[in-house]
Chains A and B, each alone.
Chain A
Amino acid sequence: NAGVTQTPKFRVLKTGQSMTLLCAQDMNHEYMYWYRQDPGMGLRLIHYSVGEGTTAKGEVPDGYNVSRLKKQNFLLGLESAAPSQTSVYFCASSYEAGQGYTGELFFGEGSRLTVL
């Protein structure tokens, strides 16, 4: 049982390049989230999705786009990477709270992105 899988795990980009991070979950979760983690800042929510075909902005959405074309996948895109986007990115998924579920998050192992 893979759980939440993030690809790639490491990536180095030059300023202005674009890239996409892929998050895949095999738990049939409705909700999916993208966070970034920077030293001393904890985790900050970038975008999230409450179901296939839906996305919403989090705390720090600027410079990122997301898509949820399939229920099991949540893609995070950087259109024109900037050094300020150097970070560790975490994807998480959960059931919708209710119907016996608590809404706890299941996390991937993270994707470390460096923008030069």
Chain B
Amino acid sequence: SQQGEEDPQALSIQEGENATMNCSYKTSINNLQWYRQNSGRGLVHLILIRSNEREKHSGRLRVTLDTSKKSSSLLITASRAADTASYFCATDLLQDDKIIFGKGTRLHILP
């Protein structure tokens, strides 16, 4: 099974609402990263949080990390139609140089 698992698999919300998606992982990490993928395109890096950090902000994005629970959450505030995409968490494993992705959350912003 994969190192990272996002929850929920799919999420539909009204424009202007906040979107929260979660990521759980299994082994120790150097850092955890969130990426966005628009349909048919490559992934784009959104934000990185190191294992010794608990919370990080970037514009409308807020990421938290709980290493004791091996989980992270991504909050997108004041969602926009352009936020419609798939979001993936990726863990940079402590034991080696692998970066392992979860299965992603498909976010759909309703007008």
**Interface set of A (CB-CB < 8 Å, partner B):** 4, 31, 33, 35, 40-45, 48, 50, 56, 58-59, 90, 92, 94, 97, 102-110
| B43 and A104 contacting across the interface, CB-CB below 8 Å | no
Contacts of B41 in A (CB 8 A): 109-110
Contacts of B45 in A (CB 8 A): 104-106
B-side interface residues, number (CB < 8 Å): 24
Q: Is the interface of B mostly helix, strand, loop or mixed?
A: strand
Sample of 14 further A-B pairs with CB below 8 A, known A42-B104, A107-B44: A42-B102, A43-B101, A44-B2, A45-B98, A48-B97, A48-B98, A48-B99, A90-B43, A92-B43, A92-B99, A103-B31, A105-B99, A107-B42, A109-B42
| B99 and A33 contacting across the interface, CB-CB below 8 Å | yes
- Asked if B88 is at the interface of the complex by the 8 Å CB criterion, the answer is yes
